[in-house]
Structure 1
Amino acid sequence: MGNFKDYQLNPDIINAIHDMGFEEPSPIQEACIPTILEGVDVVGQAQTGTGKTAAFGIPVAERVTSQPKIQALILTPTRELAIQVSGELKKIAKYKRIKTLPIYGGQQIGHQIRALKQGVQVVIGTPGRILDHIRRKTLRLQDVKLAVLDEADEMLDMGFVDDIEQILKEVNKDRQTLLFSATMPPEIKKLTHRYMDKPKWISISHNEVVAPLIDQFYYKVLEKNKLESLCRILDQQDIELGIIFCRTKRGVDELSEALQTRGYMTDALHGDLSQAQRDKVMNAFRDGELEFLIATDVAARGIDVENVSHVINYDIPQDPESYVHRIGRTGRAGRKGLALTLVTPREMTHLRSIEQKFKHPLEAKDLPSLEEVTERQQSLWKKQIIELLDKNEDLSVFSEVIDELVQHYPADKVATAALKLAFNDSLPSKDAQYNFGETGASKGMVRFFMNVGRNVNMNPKTLLEEVSDLVGISPKVIGRIDIFEKFTFVEVPEDVAPFVYEALRHSRIHGARVVLEPAKPRERDTSRSSRQAGRSNHNRRSEENRKSNERGKRQYSRPNHKG
Structure 2
Amino acid sequence: MDQATSYEKTSFQDLGISDRVLRALAEMGFEEPSPIQARAIPLLLAGKDLIGQAQTGTGKTATFGVPIVEKIDPRVRATQALVLTPTRELAIQVAEEIGRIGRFSRVRVGPIYGGQSIERQVRLLRAGLEVVVGTPGRIMDHMRRGVLSLDRLRILVLDEADEMLDMGFIEDIEWIIQQAPQDRQTMLFSATMPEEIRRLAQRYMRDPEFVQVSPQQLTVPQIEQFFYEVRQALKTEALTRILDAENVERAIIFCRTKKGVDELTEALQGRGYLAEGIHGDMNQAQRNRVMERFRGGQVELLVATDVAARGLDIEGVTHVINYDIPQDPESYVHRIGRTGRAGRSGTAITLITSREFPQLRLIERGIRQRIQRRPLPSLADIAERQRETLKSRVLKALEEGHLGYFREVARDLLQEDYAAEELLAAALKVAAGDQAPPAPLPTDFGETGAEPGFVRFFINIGRAQGVQPADIVRSIAGQAGIPGHVIGTIDIYDRFTFVEVPKEVAGQVMAAMQESTIKGRTINIEPARKR
Under a length normalisation based on structure 1, what TM-score does the superposition of the two structures give?
A: 0.43
Greater Rg, structure 1 or structure 2?
Answer: 1
Under a length normalisation based on structure 2, what TM-score does the superposition of the two structures give?
A: 0.46
